[in-house]
Homo-oligomer: A and B are copies of this chain.
């Protein structure tokens, strides 16, 4: 597991990117996908996940659709057009950040 400190500020970007790449997903599914992609190193907590999703929805970056699976509720999230354009920026910004940090820490990346 990574130090949670480093994760700060990356959650929105992660959520938007995963939703952009995987289409319609629900919260729990996102946590599993992120866990998988990160080889178990990023475990999203519910207390961070749901408020973040709600905020992204309120900001018009995601839209939702609630579905009843048997007796259980599932809330599916889809990225909006605005969300897609933002995620591009955010990922670019993250790459720039990595470059800058590599220069400051004098480390080789990749």
Q: Which residues of A pack against B, CB within 8 Å? A: 2-10, 13-14, 17-18, 21, 34, 37-39, 41-42, 91, 93-98, 100-101, 103-110
Dominant secondary structure at the A interface: helix
Q: Please give, as numbers and ranges, the residues of chain B lying within 8 Å of A42 by CB-CB distance.
A: 100, 104
User: How many angstroms from the CA of A83 to the CA of B21 in the assembled complex?
Assistant: 41
Copies in the complex: 2
The reply to whether B101 and A10 contact each other, CB–CB distance below 8 Å, is yes
User: How many angstroms from the CA of A25 to the CA of B26 in the assembled complex?
Assistant: 50
The reply to whether A109 and B110 contact each other, CB–CB distance below 8 Å, is yes
The reply to whether A106 and B6 contact each other, CB–CB distance below 8 Å, is no
The reply to whether A3 and B9 contact each other, CB–CB distance below 8 Å, is yes
Q: How far is the CB of A15 from chain B (nearest CB, A)?
A: 10
The reply to whether B38 and A104 contact each other, CB–CB distance below 8 Å, is yes
A93-B6, A94-B6, A97-B6 known; A103+B39 contact, CB < 8 A? yes
